[in-house]
């Protein structure tokens, strides 16, 4: 309930009236689709349960007991007996890179590989399978697999000796390149670090060692051939198909450039979008407030059937693991170094005030406690300058929040967008973060429970392709804070656990709120769009540690079935 304060007044009465209304209406609405015999978690303001849902014209027309569905049936009504399975509002991923991730699916994918040898084997095999590619490009290697998160050009030279190669890390903030790639970019011992990045070097010789941090990767990336317009469309199609399989029918694309926006507009024009899209337009700090007219232009051109571009993205800092997140106190392994910010507080405030005034929703990447404080300060400056308004700005990632800032989200109306899947003690935390922050600060890594307890609105996203798109994995870790699928493993700061209802709200109604569509969707109530997901089991019945094992059986968008796993027969049992 806490998280839903902004929408309570709107959604509360609907369920009471709908049933009575249809019972007495002489000209009966006949349903196109009826889902019966289910465990329907409506996600309405009272979190009510129902047995059946009826849909007509893409909208939910009725929610309630099974017996009442009889009068809504006609000969043409499709009736699906759910056999006790669970129905939820379809999921929203509120921080995802759907098009770029979809394009990456055609690259050398290194995500989830558990050893260096597996990474080497995958790259060698990919290069052999793609003899026609001028560049070997991949992504997804995990930083902890390499000493000091610092893979070498020699290793990549052995795997790809004949062409330039660039492998982006799973978090997107480091790149591993071979000697050919360094040569193409003209990077030598004499090349200085760019302002916004670092060229890792051999400490003895000063030679570039093969890992490039942050902006230093651009020095090489700019030489990789650009994907074509068709590549963008194909990437979007691949990303959407994957999203639908996970029960996702709405997204916030967290970083949309002109090519990506073009792809969204094109598929929306062709009626091929199977997700609702809030596109977040990239803000270039170097262009200051002078870029507002062009952002306003893009926003004006975007709206379509399932697309809008009313949000803007600002990066406040980098990531903790490579020392580029902005901290209030120095990194323990870098005396005096508190990490850089992507923009000065003065510029940040100026941009926030101007963007807020124009009605943009500001979506901030902030990871370190200094970056998060600076972000809250900028959004506070906007509120002071322009007056309080229904702004729905958000900060995403929120890895290290200073306890003093936890209470600021709710009064400022800032939505906290967590990637809850990251909140278990994986090597990113235990090997790369805990040692450089120390235990006292690390207590405040991913303080989801504390933010929930303040009553702030909490939303969720995967940051895919950074990590798995499956919302159920993130929901599970938000509740358990232990590694999914591993019995008896330790929890990361168990005090910061939250509950299932809260996590499901983060991926449904609170996402809809963040996209300003909570009156249209996000809960299962009459007059809302029939965006629904059917799961093979009731998540409330089994152990939280098994939530990730639940399967998506059917997905509906505007009442249309866009995914069905016909292989799933009966409801799954919870036995391991």
Q: How far is the CB of 240 from Zn ion (least distance, A)?
A: 18
Question: 3-state DSSP call for residue 80?
Answer: strand
CB 526 within 8 A of CB 498: no
CB of 384 to Zn ion, least distance (A): 28
Cβ proximity to Zn ion, 69 vs 100, nearer residue:
100
> Minimal distance in Å, beta carbon 254 to Zn ion?
4
What's the DSSP call for residue 571? P
For residue 132, whether the previous peptide bond is cis, meaning omega lies within 30 degrees of 0, is no
Cβ atoms of residues 542 and 536 within 8 Å: no
Backbone angles phi, psi at 373, to 5 degrees: -65, -45
519: closest CA among 528, 506, 532? 528
DSSP string covering 299-333, please?
HHH---SSEEEEEEEEE----TTTT-S--SS--TT
CB under 5 A: which stretch of 115-123, 161-169, 250-258, 371-379 binds Zn ion? 250-258
Q: Which is nearer to Zn ion, 127 or 420 (CB)?
A: 420
Is position 251 an interface residue for Zn ion (rule: CB under 5 A)? no
For Zn ion (CB under 5 A), the number of binding residues is 2
**Cβ contacts of 257 within 8 Å, gap of 6 or more:** 282
Which range binds Zn ion by CB under 5 A, 162-170, 284-292, 328-336, 461-469? 461-469
* Interaction mask 468-507, Zn ion, x per CB under 5 A: ----------------------------------------
Please state the φ and ψ torsions of residue 209, each to the nearest 5 degrees. Answer: -95, -15
Please identify, among the stretches 141-149, 311-319, 382-390, 455-463, the one whose residues bind Zn ion according to the rule CB under 5 A. Answer: 455-463
| Torsions phi, psi for 565 (to 5 deg) | -100, 90
Q: How far is the CB of 365 from Zn ion (least distance, A)?
A: 6
Q: Using the minimum distance from each CB to Zn ion, give the nearer residue, 321 or 463.
A: 463
Which residues share a beta bridge with 62?
Answer: 54
Minimum distance, C-beta of residue 32 to Zn ion, in the bound complex (Å): 37
Q: Which of 98, 181, 254, 557 binds Zn ion (CB under 5 A)?
A: 254
- Output the smallest distance, CB 95 to Zn ion, in A: 6
Interacting residues of 346 by C-beta distance below 8 A, sequence separation 6+ = none
Residue 463 or 518 having the CB closest to Zn ion:
463
Evaluate whether 523 touches 43 at the Cβ level (below 8 Å).
yes
CA distance linking residue 448 with residue 462, whole number of Å: 15
**Shortest gap between Cβ of 528 and Zn ion (angstroms)?**
28
Shortest distance (Å) from residue 421 CB to Zn ion: 13
CA 298 – CA 347 distance, rounded (Å): 22
- CB count within 10 Å of CB 109 equals 15
Pick the closer one to Zn ion by CB: 63 or 254. 254
**Binding piece for Zn ion, criterion CB under 5 A, among 321-329, 348-356, 448-456, 463-471:** 463-471
Quote the least distance from Cβ 198 to Zn ion, whole Å: 21
Closest C-alpha to 559, from 11, 32, 10: 32
Of 457, 360, 389, which is closest to residue 417 (Cα–Cα)? 457
**Segment lying near Zn ion (by CB under 5 A), choices 7-15, 125-133, 135-143, 247-255:** 247-255
463 binds Zn ion (CB under 5 A): yes
Four-point Cα dihedral 24, 29, 31, 34, nearest 10? -10
Q: Which is nearer to Zn ion, 254 or 557 (CB)?
A: 254
Please report, in angstroms and rounded to a whole number, the separation of the first and last CA atoms in the chain: 32
> Between residues 137 and 466, which has the closer beta carbon with respect to Zn ion?
466
Region from 303-311, 373-381, 456-464, 469-477 binding Zn ion, contact rule CB under 5 A: 456-464
Q: Does 220 sit near Zn ion (CB under 5 A)?
A: no
The structure tokens listed for 108 are 């050398």
Residue 404: how many other CB atoms lie within 10 Å:
10
- For the CB of residue 360, give the shortest distance to Zn ion in the complex, in Å: 18
Q: Which one of the spans 1-9, 78-86, 252-260, 370-378 is the region binding Zn ion (CB under 5 A)?
A: 252-260
Whose Cβ is closer to Zn ion: residue 274's or residue 417's?
A: 417
Closest approach of Cβ 313 to Zn ion, in Å? Answer: 9
List interacting residues with Zn ion (CB under 5 A).
254, 463
């Amino acid at each position: 309930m806490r998280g839903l304060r902004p929408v309570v007044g709107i959604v509360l009465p609907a369920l009471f009236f709908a049933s009575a209304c249809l019972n007495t209406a002489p000209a009966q609405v006949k349903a196109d689709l009826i889902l019966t015999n289910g465990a329907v978690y409506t996600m309405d303001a009272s979190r009510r349960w129902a047995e059946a849902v009826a849909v007509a014209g893409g909208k939910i027309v009725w929610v309630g007991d099974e017996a009442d569905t009889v009068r809504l049936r006609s000969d043409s009504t499709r009736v699906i007996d759910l056999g006790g399975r669970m129905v939820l509002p379809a999921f929203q991923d509120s921080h995802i890179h759907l098009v770029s991730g979809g394009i990456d699916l055609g690259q050398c994918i290194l995500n989830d590989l558990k050893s260096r040898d597996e990474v080497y084997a995958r790259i060698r095999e990919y290069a052999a399978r793609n003899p026609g590619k001028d560049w070997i490009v991949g992504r997804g290697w995990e930083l902890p697999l390499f000493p000091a998160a610092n893979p070498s050009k020699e290793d990549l030279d052995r795997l790809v000796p004949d062409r330039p190669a660039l492998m982006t890390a799973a978090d997107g903030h480091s790149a591993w390149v071979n000697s050919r790639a360094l040569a193409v970019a003209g990077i030598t011992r004499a090349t200085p670090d760019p302002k916004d990045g670092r060229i890792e070097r051999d400490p003895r010789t000063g030679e570039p060692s093969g890992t490039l941090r942050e902006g230093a990767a651009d020095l090489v990336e700019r030489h990789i051939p650009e994907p074509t317009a068709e590549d963008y469309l194909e990437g979007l199609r691949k990303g959407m198909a994957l999203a639908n399989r996970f029960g996702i029918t709405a997204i916030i694309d967290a970083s949309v450039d002109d090519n990506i926006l073009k792809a969204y507009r094109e598929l929306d024009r062709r009626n091929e979008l199977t997700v609702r899209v809030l596109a977040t337009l990239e803000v270039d700090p170097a262009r200051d407030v002078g870029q507002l007219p062009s952002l306003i232009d893009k926003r004006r051109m975007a709206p379509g059937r399932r697309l809008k571009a009313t949000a803007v993205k600002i990066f406040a800092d980098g990531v903790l693991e490579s020392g580029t997140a902005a901290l209030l106190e120095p990194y323990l392994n870098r005396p005096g170094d508190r990490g850089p910010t992507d923009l000065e507080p003065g510029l940040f405030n100026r941009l926030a005030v101007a963007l807020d005034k124009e009605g943009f929703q500001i979506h901030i990447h902030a990871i370190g406690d200094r970056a998060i404080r600076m972000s809250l300060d900028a959004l506070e400056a906007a509120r002071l300058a322009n007056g309080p308004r229904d702004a729905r700005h958000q900060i995403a990632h929120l890895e290290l929040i200073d306890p003093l800032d936890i209470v600021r989200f709710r009064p400022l109306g800032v939505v906290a967008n967590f990637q809850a899947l990251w909140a278990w003690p994986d090597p990113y935390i235990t090997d790369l973060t805990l040692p450089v922050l120390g235990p006292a600060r690390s207590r405040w890594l991913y303080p989801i429970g504390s933010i929930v307890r303040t009553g702030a609105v909490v939303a969720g996203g995967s940051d895919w392709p950074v990590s798995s798109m499956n919302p159920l994995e993130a929901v599970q870790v938000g509740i358990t804070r232990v590694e999914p699928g591993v019995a008896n493993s330790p929890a990361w700061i168990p005090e910061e656990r939250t509950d299932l209802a809260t996590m499901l709200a983060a991926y449904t109604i609170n996402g809809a709120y963040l996209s300003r569509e909570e009156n249209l969707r996000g809960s299962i109530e009459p007059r809302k769009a029939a965006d629904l997901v059917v799961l093979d089991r009731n998540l409330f019945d089994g152990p939280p540690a098994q939530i990730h094992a639940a399967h998506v059986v059917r997905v509906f968008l505007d009442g249309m079935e866009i995914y069905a796993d016909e292989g799933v027969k009966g409801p799954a049992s919870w036995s391991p």
